[in-house]
Amino acid sequence: MAIARFPTVVIDCPDPAELGAFYASLLDWKLEASSDWADLRADYGDCISFQKVEDFRAPEWPTQDAPQQMHLDVVVDDLDEAETAVLAIGARKAEFQPGTTFRVFLDPAGHPFCLCKE
C-alpha cells in the first residue's frame, strides 16, 4: 500500500498566472490562478502548479550554472507542427538540441521542456 499519492508537480517562477497560461495553451488544461499560485488541471485529474518566487533565477540550459532543477516532457504527434505552435504561445527554442526524437524549448520563465515524438 502506498504511503502517499502524487497529486501535482510545482514549478517555481516569477509570475504563476503568466506561466500557467502558457502551459494551459500547450496542454489545453484549465487554469486557476492568483498572484502567487496557479493550478493547471487536466479533466482526468493530473495537475501542474506554479509558485511565485521572488528573485527567481531562470535555469541556464544546457549549462549547470543555474541548474534546470526539473523539466517536463510532453508527447506530440508531429515535432514540426508542435514547434510552430509552442513558439506561437511564447516558447523559445533552445540553441542546444541533444537528440533527434525530441526538441528542447524554454518556457516564458526559462524552464526547459521537451516536445517528444511518440
* 9-13, strands of its sheet edge to edge: 9-13, 47-52, 37-41, 30-33
State the pLDDT at residue 66.
85
Sign of CA dihedral 72, 28, 94, 19: negative
Q: Are 73 and 47 within one domain?
A: no
**pLDDT above 70 as % of the chain:** 97
Residue 78 sits in a domain whose CATH number is 3.10.180.10
Q: From residue 75, how far is each of 5, 34, 50, 56 by CA, in Å?
A: 24, 28, 21, 28
What pTM was estimated for this model as a whole?
A: 0.82
pLDDT single digits (tens) 26-60: 999 999 999 999 999 999 989 999 999 999 999 98
Across the range 5-16, mean pLDDT stands at 88
Q: Are 68 and 98 within one domain?
A: yes
Which three three-digit cell numbers place residue 65?
A: 550554472
pLDDT single digits (tens) 61-107: 898 888 877 788 899 999 999 999 999 999 999 999 998 999 999 99
Asked which of 56, 84, 101 is the last residue of a domain, the reply is: 56
The CB-side HSE value for 44 (13 A sphere, CA atoms) comes to 2
Residue 47 sits in a domain whose CATH number is 3.30.720.120
